[in-house]
Structure 1
């Protein structure tokens, strides 16, 4: 299966977005609510309809960026949140951008990429993060699918990808997941070494 721009854009055009909660994910909302630096440069890769970006923007975070292969998904954000800066909506591939950030938010991107790219994701994130930069968010803690997204995994597996370049500050079962994901998510906070 080719998880390319056409694949993802068609999913958004058809509203075939079962991963979209229609709201900010509760664990991420709780995490965002304790952030105090509104000038943090934040990236949400594969952000899709990105209720997380909307939430952060409306809370006054000035430097929230979303990158997605789907032009339709980015248009959905712009239509829903007209005040979101258009130049912060990047139509492109996470693996191709060369911008640095303080924080990368993980919300259903890692599980959507081909699992053979997970080590590459960890290496790319390391390069994209500023000194003391972090990745925070959610990873599925369940096997899920082998042939199509979402691709699952486990804490033990994930630590292998991040261990060389990151200190794992937190990687535990999420206690406040959305009811549809209860018991199947890890909340992660990892810091660039």
Structure 2
């Protein structure tokens, strides 16, 4: 497997090898965002890539939205689309090195981009980054995908085995409002830090 470092991800975005990028906010996440009332929530989008979710949140008046990614190209893409987005809220570093508290973390293709050997570490780090009773919400692929490069897949039973000891599982169900080519292949999940 290739080393999934900053250079790898930059090249993926430069060469437009980001097939999972929808070019817009994901409908299930948009639906979730639309029911949020507190615009001051500290929200993280890890491995956010082009992060149309961050753009949508910002345009809806959320003031504490952060995107972390290894790829400078992806973060620059956000800044080009949303010049007013605060520079210090676009963080180029390794997710596992981040040390800030968040009320909500939105998962959109980050979990599937990580080497599967890091999945337990991901769950632990998410718990560390969330405040008490903070939420991790988003989408996970519900299908076998690649073994040697992102995106990596999985299924509900596998995901529950990672999350159940660290989080209260509020929802982890087949997504009803996925975009057409992902219909039946995504789980919407919402978990709360124990």
Q: By the TM > 0.5 criterion, same fold?
A: yes
1:52-108 per-residue CA deviation (whole Å, 9 max, x = no partner) reads 000000000000000000000000000111111111000011111111101110000
SS of the aligned residue for 1:176 comes to coil
1 CA distance for matches of 2:16 and 2:78?
14
Please name the residue that 2:154 is paired with.
153
1:19-78 per-residue CA deviation (whole Å, 9 max, x = no partner) reads 110000000000000000100000000000000000000000000000000000000000
What is the Cα-based RMSD across aligned positions, in Å?
Answer: 0.5
Please name the residue that 1:165 is paired with.
166
Q: CA deviation at 1:165?
A: 0.9
SS of the aligned residue for 2:75 comes to helix
Please name the residue that 1:105 is paired with.
106
SS of the aligned residue for 1:99 comes to coil
Does residue 67 of structure 2 align to residue 59 of structure 1?
no
1:92-144 per-residue CA deviation (whole Å, 9 max, x = no partner) reads 11111111101110000000000010000000000110011010000000011
Please name the residue that 2:78 is paired with.
77
Please name the residue that 1:184 is paired with.
185
TM-score scaled by length of structure 2:
0.98
Please name the residue that 1:94 is paired with.
95
List alignment gaps of at least 5 residues for structure 2.
none
SS of the aligned residue for 1:142 comes to coil
SS of the aligned residue for 1:136 comes to strand
List alignment gaps of at least 5 residues for structure 1.
none
1:133-172 per-residue CA deviation (whole Å, 9 max, x = no partner) reads 0100000000111111100001000011111110000000
Please name the residue that 2:7 is paired with.
6
Instruction: Count the aligned residue pairs.
Output: 193
Question: After TM superposition, where is structure 1 displaced by more than 3 Å over at least 4 residues in a row?
Answer: none
Please name the residue that 1:17 is paired with.
18
